[in-house]
Amino acid sequence: MAMKNPSHPGRVVRTMCLEPHGLTVTAAADWLDVSRQALNNLVNQKSAMSADMAIRLEKGFGIKAEMWLNMQLAFDLANAYRNARAIHVKPFKAAA
């Protein structure tokens, strides 16, 4: 079952959290108490959303941590399905 093309959560952080509030990555990283590099990697889609970052975003912007983590899961699963043909597993059949 192929999934659509879900957005990386970092892209959503940029468009829903940083840009509307006029926050730079540096300012937002200071405010969220994370390194500039960690937030930069997330918003530039070079790293995944962690549970820790999801909680920080929930506390900072009021968007539930579960939403951020579900978004990451959907993104990862869609990418895995794109490569599903390379996964060779036979269906399990229990012995009679």
- Tell me, what CATH number does 56's domain have? 1.10.260.40
Q: In which band, very low, low, confident or very high, does the pLDDT at 39 lie, cut at 50, 70 and 90?
A: very high
Please spell the DSSP secondary structure of 28-84, one letter per residue. HHHHHTS-HHHHHHHHTTSSPPPHHHHHHHHHHH---HHHHHHHHHHHHHHHHHHTG
48 with 87: CB under 8 angstroms?
A: no
Range of the domain at 67: 9-86
- Mean per-residue pLDDT for 31-36? 97
Answer whether residue 62 shows pLDDT above 90: yes
Determine, yes or no, domain membership for 13: yes
In this structure, how many other beta carbons lie within 10 angstroms of the beta carbon of residue 80?
A: 11
Q: In which band, very low, low, confident or very high, does the pLDDT at 69 lie, cut at 50, 70 and 90?
A: very high
Determine, yes or no, domain membership for 2: no
Q: Out of 39-43, 54-58, 91-95, which region has the weakest mean confidence (pLDDT)?
A: 91-95
Instruction: Please report the pLDDT score of residue 33 as a whole number.
Output: 98
> What is the overall mean pLDDT for the chain?
94
Q: In which band, very low, low, confident or very high, does the pLDDT at 3 lie, cut at 50, 70 and 90?
A: low
Answer whether residue 57 shows pLDDT above 70: yes
- Mean per-residue pLDDT for 37-41? 98
Report how many domains make up the chain. Answer: 1
